[in-house]
Amino acid sequence: MEFDVAVIGAGPAGLQAALHAARKKVKVCVLGKVNNSALMKAEIENYFGTEPKSGREMLEITAKAAAGFGAVLMEEDLLNIEMEGEAFKLKTESLKEITVKAVVLAPGISRKKLNVEGEKEYHGLGVSYCATCDCNFFKKKTVAVLGDASMAASAALLLREYASKVYWVAKEFKASPELMAKVKATDIEMVQAWPTKIHGDQVVRGMMLDNGRDLTLDGVFIELGAKGVADLAMEVNIFPDENGYIAVNRHCATDTPGVFACGDVTGLPWQLAKAVGEGCVAGLSAAAYVKKEKE
C-alpha cells in the first residue's frame, strides 16, 4: 500500500494533522485507535470558548471530517517504521506494509504502568518500557514481555532475536491473528498469568506470578499499549530529550527529513488547544514536504 503521508496516532493532534494534510490533496492514512486516545473519556470545557463537550464527540467529529477529505483511518497500531532512502516503510499489527513519503508522529506520551511491587524500583535496572531501545542489552539473557495485545507480541518477537529465552506473559492473548501465528512458530513461551512482584538485588532477578510461578529473569519488558514515543523516534533516527519529548521547529519538523511531530510528544503544556494547533501545522508541513518532493 502506498500513501503520501502516514499519521501515527488517532488522538486530537493526529486527527487534526490528517485533516489538514488531506485537505491539501495528498494521500493520507492514520494508524492508531481512536478509542485509545486519552481524550476519549475527557470532558472538554476550556477549548476556544466552546460549550462543554465530550472528548469522544470531538474525536468522532474530527475523524469524520478527516475521512471526508480522503484520509484513511486504519484503526490499527503500528509495529515498526523502516527508513528506505527518502521513503518510509511501515508495518501494521495485521502485517500490512505501507510506503509513505512523510510521517507525522502524534502518538501521545502515556506509558501504562503495571503498578506492582518492584516495577518502579527496577526501572532501568532490568525493567524497560522500550524493547527497541533496550533489546541489545539482553543478548543471551532471559526476559519476559508483559501485555496482551499486538505490541507485546511484536516486542517478544524482537527480543527473541537477542535473548536466549523469552516469556510472553498475559492474562489473555489478544494480538492480531498474523502476529499470534508468528509467535507460535517460535520457542517463545506463552504464560497465561499476571505478575504480582518483580524482585532482584541490584538488578532484576525474577518475577512472581499470580499462578504461583516464579520466573527467573534478567529483564522485564512492559508493553501494555501502542508503540511508545521512544521506540518510534529511534526508528527514524530521532532521540527524545531527557523528558522523553521530541524537538521540533516552528513547522513541527524534526531533525529527520520527512518526519514531523505534534501534540504531547513535543512537550508541555498537555492541552487540547496545543495538540490541535500543532496538528494543523504538522499536517500542512507534511503535505508541503510531499508536494515539494513530487515536483
Question: How confident is the prediction along the chain (295 residues), in pLDDT tens digits per residue?
Answer: 999 999 999 999 999 999 999 999 999 999 999 988 888 888 887 788 888 889 999 999 999 999 999 999 999 999 999 999 999 999 999 999 999 999 999 998 766 788 899 999 999 999 998 888 889 999 999 999 999 989 999 999 999 999 999 999 999 999 999 999 999 999 999 999 999 999 999 999 999 999 999 999 999 999 987 677 777 888 999 998 888 899 999 999 999 999 999 999 999 998 999 999 999 999 999 999 999 865 4
Q: Cell numbers 499486538 correspond to what residue?
A: 150
* Cell of residue 164, nine digits: 536466549
The region, left, alpha or beta by phi > 0 then psi within -120 to 50, assigned to residue 132 is: alpha
* Residue type at position 196: T
Q: Compute the CA torsion angle 37, 40, 45, 51 (nearest 10 deg).
A: 120
At the top level of CATH, the class of 5-110+228-294 is alpha beta
The CATH number assigned to the domain with range 127-222 reads 3.50.50.60
Establish whether domains 5-110+228-294 and 127-222 are of one fold. yes
State how far the Cα of 295 lies from the Cα of 293, in Å rounded to an integer: 6
Phi-psi region of 12 (alpha: psi -120 to 50; beta: other; left: phi over 0): alpha
Judge contact between 162 and 136, C-beta under 8 A: yes
The widest CA-to-CA distance across the chain, in whole angstroms, is 63
SS3 state at 55: helix
| Residue 268, C-alpha cell as written in the block | 508541555
Structure-block grid coordinates of residue 226: 501502542
* pTM attached to this predicted model: 0.81
Sheet holding 195-200, edge to edge: 195-200, 204-209, 214-216
Q: Identify the pLDDT of residue 111.
A: 64
Long-range contacts of 130-133 (CB under 8 A, 24+ apart): 130/228, 130/230, 130/231, 131/155, 131/158, 131/159, 131/221, 131/223, 131/231, 132/80, 132/158, 132/230, 132/231, 132/234, 132/235, 133/230, 133/231, 133/234
How would you write 195-228 as a 3-class SS string? EEEEEECCCEEEEEECCCCEEECCEEEECCCCCC
* Single-letter amino acid, residue 223: E
Listed in order, strand segments (DSSP E) in 4-162 are 5-8, 28-31, 43-44, 53-54, 72-73, 78-84, 87-92, 97-100, 102-105, 127-128, 142-146
Domain coordinates in residue numbering, the chain = 5-110+228-294, 127-222
Q: Considering Cα of 253, then 258, then 262, then 268, what sign does the dihedral take?
A: negative
In one-letter notation, the amino acid at residue 178 is E
**Sequence-separated (6 or more) residues with CB below 8 Å from residue 240:** 229, 230, 233, 246
- The predicted structure's pLDDT at residue 293: 63
